[in-house]
C-alpha cells in the first residue's frame, strides 16, 4: 500500500507533509505535490500533517479521485523531489476549501496527463 495526494492539494501546495516524510517520497509540480508510490513506505505520518486533507491511503482514495493514482505515479517520474517545507502558493487560502480542482490546472508540459 502507498499514499496518494489528491485534489485538495491543487492550487494550494502546502508542504507541511514533506518534512514529516521519513523516506523523501514527495515530488513538487507547478500546482501541487505528488507521492512516489515506489518510495512510499506506508507510514502515514504525512496524513495528519496535511492542512487540507489531500492525502489518502491508496485503498481509501474516493472513487471520484481514482485518477490521482496515475497522476501521482506520473508526476513522481517527471517532477523533482521536495525535501524541505516551502511557503504555500500565494493564493492557497482562496483555493483551500475548493473541490474539483483538477480541471483548474494550467496546461503545462510538466503536468501529468
Joined together, the cell numbers standing for residue 67 give: 485518477
- Per-residue CA distances from 2 to 55, 61, 69 (Å): 10, 11, 10
Burial class (CB in 10 A: 0-12, 13-18, 19+), 106: exposed
pLDDT tens digits, residue range 81-109? 999 999 999 999 999 999 999 888 765 54
As a whole number, mean pLDDT of residues 48-59 equals 96
At residue 112's C-alpha, the angle toward residues 8 and 54, to 5°, is 15
Give the DSSP per-residue string, 55-87.
Answer: EEEGGGS-GGGTTHHHHHHHHHHHSPB--S--P
pTM, 2 dp: 0.90
Amino acid at each position: 500500500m502507498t499514499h496518494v495526494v489528491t485534489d485538495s492539494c491543487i492550487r494550494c501546495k502546502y508542504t507541511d507533509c514533506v518534512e514529516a516524510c521519513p523516506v523523501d517520497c514527495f515530488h513538487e509540480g507547478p500546482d501541487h505535490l505528488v507521492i512516489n508510490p515506489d518510495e512510499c513506505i506506508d507510514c502515514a505520518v504525512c496524513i495528519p500533517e496535511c492542512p487540507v486533507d489531500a492525502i489518502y491511503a491508496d485503498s481509501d482514495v474516493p472513487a471520484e479521485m481514482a485518477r490521482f493514482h496515475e497522476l501521482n505515479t506520473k508526476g513522481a517520474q517527471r517532477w523533482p523531489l521536495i525535501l524541505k517545507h516551502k511557503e504555500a502558493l500565494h493564493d492557497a487560502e482562496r483555493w483551500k476549501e475548493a473541490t474539483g480542482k483538477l480541471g483548474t490546472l494550467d496546461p503545462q508540459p510538466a503536468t501529468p496527463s
